[in-house]
Structure 1
Amino acid sequence: MRVYIGDTYSILPEVYDVHYLVDRIYPVEKVGEKTNRLLHKLAKSVGIKKKPLVLDIDSVPQIKLKKEEYHPVNWGKEIINRFIQQIGKENIGFLSVSYNIAFNRDYLPNIASRLVMESGLKLDVFPEEIPYYGCASGIFSLKNAVEYCRKHNKAAVVFTFDQCSQVSYFTYDQNDPFFKKTLKSYFLFSDGAVGLLVLPESLMEKFGKKGVEIEDIVLTHHPGDTIKMEKGKFLLSKNLKDEVSPIVADKALKPLLNKHQLTVKDIEEWALHQGGFTVLEKFKDPQILGLSDKQLSRAEELLRTYGNLSSPSCLLVLDSFFHEKNGSKKGKKGVIAGFGAGYYIGAALYRWI
């Protein structure tokens, strides 16, 4: 049975200019003019212009959620209710929630269970929650949603989010060993969510106007720790840019293309996880994958505009392709690829209908 993504929906909280954040969080009167200037320089070198944040920056250094509407359960309800309005509650039989970091102190019942109760869903199978699969977690959710649709001939909802600012570390003690170590991850990572409405062929014909057919999904794992938590702090290794991209290409992207007798040039849309500009640039190397500037442009554009949203980052790129208003894309192919801590890696091949 054919399975499709019939709609996507993204949620971004309040968006801040990164240089505004430097002056608000590390003002001259607390860190000195020299350090403030160096932080502006670091922010510029990372290349991110703006950051969507759920963090209450007025409470820093205390880590606090700015608005209750930013709680992941409220984000999930917003996404689910959008899809309910399109196809009806009775047609949704499965929910998969995936993330790494959340402003959620009440762990039980889990987020997935709360969403079922608060949205009034009547599922055929138990809702699943996939935490800590790195920035590939949304692809794991998508794989399970596709398998559910094939077996049960009903719709599934994928809700993927991250609230990376929950693990921000703010200190004005420049002798603190984590002062410099955590700065790069702070300037790179942001907060946001993406939902996917996954439909079997019967419901796509009934409700869908456009969408993409999921032709194949590859999931894999390669042990690695260049992305990790240490004593509660989020750290990125200097080796990240050199290590991850070749692994992703060799373990997932090349096998996926080879299986379907496709080349890189056959894929017009690349919804890649934006692990950073240096990570994306590596995919241009002919020995790694050989992507063109044009093929990487959307991922780079959204990274520059919003930063690295972690789990939903590749799905945010897909969402941008999904809601373009440039006529028919029928027959065009695309790849979604997520990869992150662990390393968990996922890639999906799709075709516009």
Structure 2
Amino acid sequence: MRVFILSTKVFLPQLVDPFEIANAFYPADRVGKKVNLLARKMVETIGIEKRPFVLDLEKLPEKKLKKEEDHPLYWGEKVIGSFIDLVGRENIGFLSMSYNISYHTDYLPNLITQIVLRTGLNLDRPPEELPYYGCASGVISIKNAVSYCKTHGKAAVVFVFDQCSNLAYIPSGSDDPYIKKTIKSNLLFSDGAAGLLIIPESMKPSKTLPEIIDVRTGYTPGDGIKMENGAFILQNQVKDIVPPVVSEKVIKPVLEKHGFKKEDIQEWSIHQGGIAIIDKFKEDDILGLSEEQIARSKELFHRYGNLSSPSCFLTFDSFFNEEKEKSGDAGMIVGFGAGYYMASALYVWS
């Protein structure tokens, strides 16, 4: 049975000036002028225009949501509600949710059950909650949703979010040993959510939609992205270790299996781990993509930063909602991150 993506939904919170965040995390009166200047220079180097951010900077060092409606329960309700409006509550039989970082604290019943209760879904398969699978988690959810659609003939929802601001490390002073270890991750990651509505061919309307051809997952153990004593650390060697493995495990095998060359893929939605990581996919011994092929991922990184799990969905959403004829065009959604987990989804507009 053929399976298609009927709709996408992206949810971004308030956009905040990155320099405002840097000054809040590294105020000169607490960490010194030298550290504050280093943080501001890091903001310039990273090059993010505005960061979607839910953290109340005025409450630091306590980490609190600035707005109650930025709780992931609300995000899930909004994303799923938009899909219910499209196909009807009774036609959605499966929900897969993934994330790494959340402000949610009332764990029982689990978060996904609370979202099901809020949205009134009547699922015929237990919903799945996939935490801590790194930035590949949303694409892993796509694989499970596709499997459901093929066996049950009903729609499935993929909901992915991350609230990375809750991992921000607030240094105690200029001599805090974790300042240099965490400054990059503190200034790189943003908050946001995204969703996909995946349907079987029997529910497809008479319009061109992306057909999911294959989803491939992979794994290589590594701790270049890790927590250490409550501090979120992103090591520099990640950019050299992860892209080659991602290419060999979840991109090249899928292209070869289905007779595609990299030049045949018009839409590359590559996880925006950072400009250096995205640029790695241009290297011939990794994948050899052109600057044009990675331009969309770089553009959205510069606009919003690294949203973690929803990042590649944000790029795909920008392709999905373009007003142009796409019949026959192909694309890949590629996610990868801590663990190291990785996944790719190949689709063709048909």
Give the TM-score band, short-chain normalised: over 0.9
Identify the residue that residue 82 of structure 1 maps to in structure 2.
82
Which ranges in structure 2 are unaligned for 5 or more consecutive residues? none
Deviations 1:32-57 (A, max 9, x none): 33332221111111222221111111
The letter for the 2-side match of 1:162 is: D
Give runs of aligned pairs for residues 104-143 of structure 1, distance below 5 A. Answer: 104-143=104-143
In structure 1, the partner of 2:332 is 335
Aligned length: 350
Deviation of 1:26 (Å): 2.7
The 5 Å alignment of 1:227-242 reads 227-242=225-240
Q: Distance in 2 between matches of 1:147 and 1:351?
A: 18
Give the alignment partner of residue 322 of structure 2, picking from 321, 324, 327.
Answer: 324
Provide the rounded CA distance (Å) in 1 between the counterparts of 2:157 and 2:47: 33
CA shift digits 1:83-125 (9 cap, x unpaired) = 1111100100000000001011111111111111111110011
- Residue 279 of structure 1 deviates from its aligned partner by 0.7
Helix, strand or coil: the match of 1:182?
helix
Of 323, 327, 347, 1:350 maps to: 347
Are the aligned partners of 1:245 and 1:288 in contact in 2 as well (CA < 8 Å)?
A: yes
Deviations 1:167-190 (A, max 9, x none): 111124121111111110011111
Aligned residue in 1 for 2:47:
47
Contact 1:11–1:194 at 8 Å: present in 2 too?
Answer: yes
- Preserved contact between residue 272 and residue 336 of structure 1 (Cα < 8 Å): yes
Alpha-carbon distance in 2 for matches of 1:126, 1:42: 44
Cα offsets for 1:285-320 (capped at 9, x unmatched): 011000100000000000111010111111110011
Q: Retained in 2: the 8 A contact 1:141–1:158?
A: yes
What is the CA-CA distance between 1:255 and the residue it aligns to? Answer: 0.7
Q: Is the 8 A contact 2:154 2:199 kept in 1?
A: yes
- 2:220 is aligned, of 219, 222, 236, to 222
Q: Distance in 2 between matches of 1:182 and 1:38?
A: 12
Query: Aligned residue for 1:26?
Result: 26
For 1:295, give the aligned amino acid.
Q
2:299 to 298, 301, 304: 301
* Residue 289 of structure 1: aligned partner: 287
Q: Equivalent pairs: percent with the same residue? A: 53
Who is 1:176 aligned against? 176
- Which residue of structure 2 lines up, in the alignment, with residue 8 of structure 1? 8
Give secondary structure in 1 for the equivalent of 2:104: coil
Q: Distance in 1 between matches of 2:143 and 2:150?
A: 11
- Structure 1, unaligned stretches of length 5 or more? none
C-alpha contact 1:7 1:211 (8 A) present in aligned 2 = no
RMSD in angstroms over aligned alpha carbons? 1.1
> What secondary structure sits across from 1:97 in the alignment?
strand
Q: Retained in 2: the 8 A contact 1:18–1:187?
A: yes
Match of 1:313 in 2: 311
TM-score normalised by structure 1 residue count: 0.97
CA distance in 2 between partners of 1:31 and 1:224 (Å) = 32
User: Structure 2: how far apart are the matches of 1:165 and 1:45?
Assistant: 20
Aligned ranges 1:148-297 → 2 under 5 Å: 148-205=148-205, 209-297=207-295
Q: Is the 8 A contact 2:35 2:174 kept in 1?
A: no
The answer to whether the 8 A contact 1:97-1:112 is kept is yes
User: Separation in 1 of the partners of 2:176 and 2:166?
Assistant: 20
The answer on 1:94 being equivalent to 2:87 is no
Pick which of 309-318 and 27-36 moved more: 27-36
Please give the secondary structure, in 1, of the residue aligned with 2:334: strand
Quick one: distance in 2 between partners of 1:178 and 1:57? 20
Aligned residue type for 1:286:
D
- SS of structure 2 residue aligned to 1:287: coil
1:234 and 1:332 map into 2 onto residues whose CA distance is: 39
Paired with 2:288 and 2:152, the residues of 1 have a C-alpha distance of 39
